[in-house]
Structures are given as C-alpha cells and as structure tokens.
C-alpha cells in the first residue's frame, strides 16, 4: 500500500493522497501536510534530494536518516517548468519496494502537474494592457455579466444573436479564455468592467 505526497520547492508537504487508513498511519509517523522534508530538519530523504538535485530519487527505508521515514520506501520526482523546480511528487510505501511501473506513474504525474502549471500560468499571464476590446465587446460583456443569455443580450442591445456570438468568440480569443465566466472574471480583475456594471 502506498500514498503520494505533493511537496513545494521548499520541501514542505502540501498534500497527501491515498487511502484514509494509510494516511492515518503516515500521520502517526509524523508525515502530514506541513511536514518539512528539508535535509537540515528531516535528514537525507528522497524529497530533499529530488528538489535539491532536480533528479528523480529513490530511497530504501534504511537509507533515510530520519526516524519518521525509516519505515518507508520513497520515490520522488521533481516538478520542473522551464528548468525551474516547482516542487516534487513522491510515493511512499511501507511494505514493498517501489517497482518500475509505479516509478513511471510518479514520473507521469510530475509531467502532468508541470504541464497543468504551465497552462494555468499562460492563462493567468495574459497581459490585458495589450488586449483591446471594442466598445461593442465591452457592452456585450457587461450585459452577459448580469447573467443574461446570448439571446437576452441580443434583444437588450438591439443586435442579432449571431452578432453576440461573433463578439463572444472574439472576446474569448483576445482574453485567452474558454467561457463567459472566465472572461468576466478576467475583465473584472483588470478593471475593464466593474461590479457596478453587473448590477441589474
């Protein structure tokens, strides 16, 4: 039986994933959210090595120089984005060595987390100073922000439903978003529209 630990670049456990019974046992071993795996605090361990050296790291229980890790097999993979370490994903097992298949899964999880981080960073880093929305697009966003449907917005603004949808497509493209909610949140965040614009 195994469980996963997601750690930040400071080698602190952010989240533990696994069966409740095993997580309870881990907690009894002092492995929990907030536990530091820094070598100066916890001794040599797989999480510290993976983050410090930017390489995958496997440790047998007898190689852990920390009392609370001496019963655990550990395999850790750093989460990298553009040569910058963001933390690591680790698997700990009490009973069994970690085989190649499990190690591969941990590596894939690291890759998936890294890609998700890059995607979210790209979406959040769209510089709205460079984005120019037309007056028509802003008017449509204000109406949609009040909860109107496309059809309702068309009627309220005196334009066709096709025109509303055309402007929405361009708004989504310019803001690098996929939904009205994302678009509205982004324009609110950057002050293109205000909460007052959303009042009925």
> How far is it, in rounded angstroms, from Cα 8 to Cα 146?
39
> How far is it, in rounded angstroms, from Cα 14 to Cα 18?
14
**Confidence (pLDDT) at 73:** 92
- Look at residue 200 and tell me whether its pLDDT is greater than 80: no
What CA–CA distances, in Å, run from 67 to 30, 38, 149? 10, 14, 60
pLDDT digits (tens, 9 = 90+) for 105-141: 888 888 888 888 777 666 555 555 567 889 999 999 9
**What architecture is domain 2-122?**
2-Layer Sandwich (3.30)
pTM over 0.95: no
pLDDT digits (tens, 9 = 90+) for 129-187: 567 889 999 999 999 888 889 999 999 999 999 999 999 999 999 998 998 888 888 88
Beta partners for 84? Answer: 81
What is the strand order of the sheet 13-18 is part of? 13-18, 2-8, 84-93, 73-81, 57-59
Does this chain's domain 2-122 share its CATH topology with 128-198? no
pLDDT digits (tens, 9 = 90+) for 17-28: 988 888 888 888
**What architecture is domain 128-198?**
Orthogonal Bundle (1.10)
Contact 89, 95 (CB under 8 A): no
Residue identified by tokens 């979210």 is 120
Q: What DSSP state is assigned to residue 2?
A: E
For the chain, the structural domain boundaries read: 2-122, 128-198
Q: What are phi and psi of 187, to 5 degrees?
A: -70, -30
> How far is it, in rounded angstroms, from Cα 156 to Cα 59?
65
């Amino acid at each position: 039986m195994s469980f996963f630990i997601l750690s930040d670049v400071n080698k602190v456990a952010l989240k533990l994933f696994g069966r409740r019974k095993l997580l309870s046992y881990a907690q009894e071993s002092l492995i929990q959210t907030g536990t530091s795996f820094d070598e100066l605090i916890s001794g040599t361990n797989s999480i510290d090595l993976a983050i410090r050296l930017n390489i995958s790291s496997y440790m047998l229980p007898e190689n852990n120089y920390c009392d609370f890790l001496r019963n655990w097999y550990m395999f850790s993979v750093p989460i990298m984005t553009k040569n910058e370490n963001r933390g690591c994903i680790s698997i700990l097992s009490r009973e069994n060595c970690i085989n190649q298949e499990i190690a591969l899964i941990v590596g894939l999880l690291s890759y998936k987390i890294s890609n998700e981080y890059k995607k979210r960073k790209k979406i959040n880093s769209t510089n709205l100073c460079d984005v120019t929305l037309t007056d028509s697009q802003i008017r449509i966003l204000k109406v949609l922000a009040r909860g109107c449907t496309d059809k309702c917005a068309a009627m309220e603004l005196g334009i066709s439903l096709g025109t509303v949808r055309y402007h929405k497509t361009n708004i989504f493209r310019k803001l690098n978003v996929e939904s009205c909610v994302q678009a509205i949140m982004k324009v609110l965040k950057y002050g293109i529209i205000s909460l007052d614009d959303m009042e009925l």
